[in-house]
Chains A and B, each alone.
Chain A
Amino acid sequence: MSPEFLYFVETVLNGLMAGVMYSLVALGFVLIFKASGIFNFAQGVMALFAALTLVGLQTGQVPFSHLINAIFGTEIHHFGWTLPAFFAVLITLAIMVLFAYLFEAIVLKHLVNQEPIILFMATIGLAYFLEGFGDLMWGSDVKILDVGIPSGGSFWWEEVTRTWASEGSDYFGMYIDKLDVVAALVAVVLVIALTFFSKYTKMGRALRAVADDHQAAQSVGISLRTIWVLVWSISGFVALVAGIMWGAKSGVQFSLSLIALKALPVLILGGFTSIPGAIVGGLIIGVGEKLAELYVGPLVGGAIENWFAYVVALMFLLFRPQGLFGEKIIERV
């Protein structure tokens, strides 16, 4: 096979990996939108917050240290102990569930039948709040996150792919980051678990009922509040996983919260209400971006990565407003 083709395959593979990351974040959006009709803009910041908490716990950092020092003039920073990754992840998950409970009790309860635009803006408020709170709690410097996921290029894969190249070509094999592979696997596992959960378990069915019609679900005895707490906890968990993957890849920093903006085009393609849609959408955008960077980028001055996904989604939207898998909306008068 010719190097160009191999190079193309490599880009596609990397694209798929990136796509998986997008769909991971998109998944969080879809879950919350399906269950409560809220477009949770704060999903990205939740991932950032989860990652910050994880790193903070792992390194035994004192929460709100910056604030305490400012008030009492003390200089404490670390507790001194470090926590193995596994426990840190568990505690962070517990924190995310607590956060879901608090958010539902304090905010969602009061905004039950508000128009979607009001709920959407509440999540923007939540995003700002969480960002400030996260920085306050763990400091806003860039942190390295290492939970024992192998990272770096996989030499084994490079060797194998080099042999595919036709003789005499100076092709050095494909560069695949091990981390991306792990992330892809985790994502696949997560998707299967979620689909299984929502299809076959009692709670899952309740979740889909609430997504369809709040009043109807309540009338058959499903308590809206527990469902919402459950949903926000699951999306908190998804945010944690996304936070870990993104954090491990590019470090835990503010730009992590911008991935939410990345997930939007994915949702457009896949439709807001379908889990498979989120996955397929994510892959399309991932691959599309990488290929566009490769071929279209140079013509137009490069770095078209951040707006290309939107244009694709926009074009798609004009022809099929309800996305890949969403049902056609018939307007009744």
Chain B
Amino acid sequence: MSIHMPLNEHRAIEDFQLSAHDDHLEPGDIILDLENVSLAFGGVKAINDISFNIKKGEVRAIIGPNGAGKTSMLNVINGFYHPQQGTITYRGEKRTAMQSTEAAKQGISRTFQNIALFKGMSTLDNIMTGRITLQNKNLFLQALWHGPAAKEDIEHRLVVEKIIDFLEIQHIRKTPVGRLPYGLQKRVELGRALAAEPALLLLDEPMAGMNLEEKEDMSRFILDVNSQFGTTIALIEHDMGVVMDISDRVVVLDYGRKIGDGSPEEVSNNQAVIDAYLGVSHD
């Protein structure tokens, strides 16, 4: 039972779309809206009354010094942490406490600050795991395998191969991820997040610990994802140079509060932001 396709259809990789989670929104509409969100861990206020929104199709950067609440904010967006106050509206639907698996099913996928790849699996399997929310053949069909389950798995394998081709990691397709250098592991993790065909992609410091060349590659990939698939990207990043180049709008957090929001230029000459980064003492 083999899938043999003439080159054209098979090769139409360049304009393949990640459209499993398409929606009626036009680019520029608000895809995610956070209003007065607060999150605390037993007395420690990680996020303190923050409101901002993300527009569909834009690259939204979230920056701020260490411990400013950036990663916690990401965990609130994808339902891993549940804020004590505030509301989150995703694609027009107000969201109460939601399980993170539910967020994944609605098209939110992410990468992690310190790589959370499945060490026991190869690059291909890791990225295939990203397809889990889109596969639905039940347990018995999987047990039978030959027939619908195998056919579905191969269709998903084809999409994953297109992502592998897109990220130019063909040469490490079958290597266990544990043995890959840091830069490539980051790219595999991006591939896994893309495999879920997200409407909203959350990137948690995708370029931390990378040299200049790797940073350039990763930025190119992020821009290509945004332009070719139209995926909305929320990006946590320290390197101001990168933020200035590739983000459309920036929100600046400091000590769990929002101190700046706007285009990269506006934000970079906003005094509060400069103070926060230069470490001026707080009043």
A residues lining the B interface (CB < 8 Å): 330, 333
Contact = CB atoms under 8 A, between A and B. Distances in A.
A333 B41 contact: no
Contacts of A330: 41
B219 interface: no
Contacts of A333: 71, 75, 80, 112-113, 116
Contacts of B112: 333
Interface string B63-92: 000000001000100001000000000000
A330 B112 CA distance: 17
A330 B113 CA distance: 17
The main secondary structure of chain A at its interface with chain B is: loop
A241 to B, nearest CB: 40
Interface string B22-42: 000000000000000000010
Interface in B86-134: 112-113, 116
Closest 7 CB pairs of A and B: A333-B75, A333-B80, A333-B112, A330-B41, A333-B116, A333-B71, A333-B113
7 contacts: A330-B41, A333-B71, A333-B75, A333-B80, A333-B112, A333-B113, A333-B116
A68 B80 CA distance: 64
A7 B115 CA distance: 61
Nearest to B80: A333
Nearest to A331: B80
B106 to A, nearest CB: 19
A333 B81 CA distance: 10
Nearest to A330: B41
Interface string B239-281: 0000000000000000000000000000000000000000000
A238 to B, nearest CB: 35
A330 B75 CA distance: 14
Contacts of B41: 330
A330 B81 CA distance: 11
B158 to A, nearest CB: 31
A333 B113 CA distance: 8
Nearest to B110: A333
A333 to B, nearest CB: 6
Contacts of B71: 333
A333 B110 CA distance: 12
Contacts of B116: 333
A309 B113 CA distance: 43
A229 to B, nearest CB: 32
